[in-house]
Amino acid sequence: MRAKEGGAMASESLDAAPRTRRRWRAVVGRAGSAIPIALFLIITFAPIYWIILSAFTPLSDLFSTPLHYIPAHPSLINFRAAARLVPLEQQFLNSTVLAVGSASLSVVVALLAAYGFARIRFPGSNFLFLGILLSGFLPAIATIIPLFETFSSLNLVDSMVGLIALVGNLLLPTSIWIMASFIRQVPIEMEEAAQVDGAGFPLVLWRIVIPLLRPALATLFLINVITAWDEFFLPLIFSRSAATATLTLGVTQAAVDPETGAVAWGNEAAVALIVIAPVFTLAMVFQKQIVEGLMAGALKG
Q: Where a domain ends, among 31, 55, 79?
A: 55
- pLDDT 10s digits, 88-102: 999 999 999 999 999
Same domain assignment for residues 16 and 122: no
Same domain assignment for residues 92 and 42: no
Phi-psi group of 155: left, alpha or beta (phi > 0 → left; psi -120 to 50 → alpha; rest → beta): left
So what's the pLDDT on residue 94?
96
Residue 44 domain flag: yes
Residue 60 domain flag: no
- pLDDT 10s digits, 16-51: 556 666 666 665 556 666 778 888 888 888 888 888
Residue 81 domain flag: no
- pLDDT 10s digits, 118-145: 888 888 888 888 888 888 888 888 889 9
Same domain assignment for residues 237 and 176: yes
- Contacts of residue 170, Cβ cutoff 8 Å, sequence gap at least 6: 102, 136, 140, 231, 234
- Tally of domains within the chain: 2
So what's the pLDDT on residue 120?
84
The rounded distance, in Å, linking the Cα atoms of 229 and 262 is: 28
Residue 66 domain flag: no
Same domain assignment for residues 16 and 155: no
Same domain assignment for residues 116 and 219: yes
The rounded distance, in Å, linking the Cα atoms of 142 and 165 is: 18
Which structural domain range is residue 171 located in? 87-300
The rounded distance, in Å, linking the Cα atoms of 7 and 290 is: 60
Point out the least confidently predicted range of 14-28, 65-79, 133-147, 183-197.
14-28
pTM of the model: 0.82
Report which of 276, 280, 257 is spatially closest to residue 267, judged by C-alpha positions: 257
Same domain assignment for residues 13 and 162: no
Q: What is the mean pLDDT of residues 283-292?
A: 78
Residue 285 domain flag: yes
Same domain assignment for residues 46 and 101: no
Band of residue 172 on the pLDDT scale cut at 50, 70, 90: very high
Q: How far is CA 150 from CA 40, 127, 162, 190, in A?
A: 42, 27, 11, 43
Band of residue 74 on the pLDDT scale cut at 50, 70, 90: confident
Same domain assignment for residues 37 and 110: no
Residue 69 domain flag: no
